[in-house]
Structure 1
Amino acid sequence: MADDAVGRAVAVLGPRARRDVPLGPLTTYRLGGPAAVLVDADALADLRAVAAAVAASGLPTLVVGRGSNLLVADEGFAGIAVVMGAGLADVAVEGTVVRAGGAASLPVVARRTAAAGLTGFEWAVGVPGSIGGAVRMNAGGHGSDMAASLRSIRVVDLAAGEDGAVPATLPASGLALGFRSSAVRPTQVVVEAELALAVGDRTAAEAEISEIVRWRRANQPGGANAGSVFVNPPGDSAGRLVDEAGAKGLRIGSAEVSPKHANFIQCDPGGRAADVHALMLEVARRVADRSGTWLRPETRLVGLDWPEGP
């Protein structure tokens, strides 16, 4: 039945579809098996085609974005993965209003807005994700987040069928933006975000960007990782809890809790997503045993489960 569903999707997508494409190289962890079907979406027409394929096949969808927050199972993803292309990455600055495509890189938008003499988005230079992914998780850092400047978004719902997959504008006030969370559904693709920034000083904004980059290099590890693994509990730090639980430097197979920052997990070249997942679970259990707090993943798990408690 799964092969039949894939066949129906491919029949609808035609040359847009690629089968059994490894997802690991599309993520910063560089881990994970293949997508049954992968589509490079450079225009709204591509997303409408995906919506038609979903209606015809019933397959699940995964919007990959820049892959900076994904841990994909070694078995892969048995659905349609969508990679947003350059056609959906335009950035336009009009006064203090910025319109950025869902595929636009956060560091690029940060540098573009600083160069335009705007302030309020410098924090994003240190987040290696896309605008669309940043909206979905209300990404943030250095004292700010997407909610601070987001005015509205345009989304396409891949579950709405080809006729219904037209851009809808949603105000930021209706997105329930919380700490690393939002009401944007998994089937909704953010194709554009409108930001409201403030007039600033270009020199000061670019100096702040340089300082953020310096701080990140000094305090966070490089290598294959997906940034912060766990969401900070209210009023606390996940990294502090992991450190206090004695899990900094803990290793399972090819995965290790970073000795440099306890809320990062790094993986060896050629490693396994299963090792990262097992290490996440072991760290969460140790933290729960010590503090009573069950940590919630900030990393988006694809094909991997997360229990509600220890």
Structure 2
Amino acid sequence: MSAPSSSDDRPSLPGGLDTARLGVIGGSGLYAIEGLEEVSEHTVRTPFGEPSDALRLGCLGGMEVVFLARHGRHHHLLPGEVPYRANIWALRSMGVRWLLSFSAVGSLQEACRPLDVVVPDQFIDRTRDRPASFFGHGAVAHVSLADPFCPVLSGHLAEAAAGCVPAGRQLHRGGTYLCMEGPAFSTRAESQLYRSWSCTVIGMTNHTEARLAREAELAYACLAMVTDYDCWHAGHADVSVDLVIDNLRANASLAQQVVQACATRLAAARPACPAHAALRDALMTPPAQVPADTRRRLDLFTTPYWGPFAGPG
């Protein structure tokens, strides 16, 4: 199945973007995409273990889309158990170059109300001991994360969301996502600390994804869907699973609409993004010095710079 084109005479884009696919990672409450056509499921084996679930490939809004449920379709994986490296590797192996993350978050600011949505542009990471790089084992790379969310893709996502957010709910462009370890929610002291840092929302997953997506040269953007006020707000109930689930249901319909609207925009634009060449100036180790096993694991990403790996199988 080849990617649909919005114009038969459009020139080829750099880096194979004219045939690249859109990836969608669904967080809590988003375990499938409605409206996908010609759907097929793919079990992908990766050098970094098994992904969270089978990947579903289909067509939506004139674009080939690959969907993955971050926590599994039955939500059986804790945030710290999500196989982030396997997920990102699998998505890239299926031709994804733009990646949208849909995530449930708590709000750390009064103006960002439950059921609002945020397209964040910055991170603070408070996770622990999560594998957050494809590199190591004899190969060193230092990608830039100054702008951890792709500004180009985030712009398309925000414009798509702006046309879908109903009256009474607000779209916030920009903001800082505090990524905590979980799985427990914050203490009141932690919640107030993160507010003092001017963080906008709090979640448990996206920073790890964003770092790995940058190494995999995927443009990455997030629609953070607010379910609660964490536990800092004296005028609202403390965050609970029941509260989150109730608001997740309300968010699910909006998420489906935004996915379709963004897919339609990207099918027409197919934008080249800075992230698509993130490794160009990041690779430090001479390829001849990289162990064969490491070269093999990294070949999906490094071929444009090191050439295809031709060592022993």
Alignment TM class, shorter chain as reference = under 0.3
Task: Specify which structure has the higher proportion of helix.
Answer: 1
* TM superposition score normalised by structure 1: 0.25
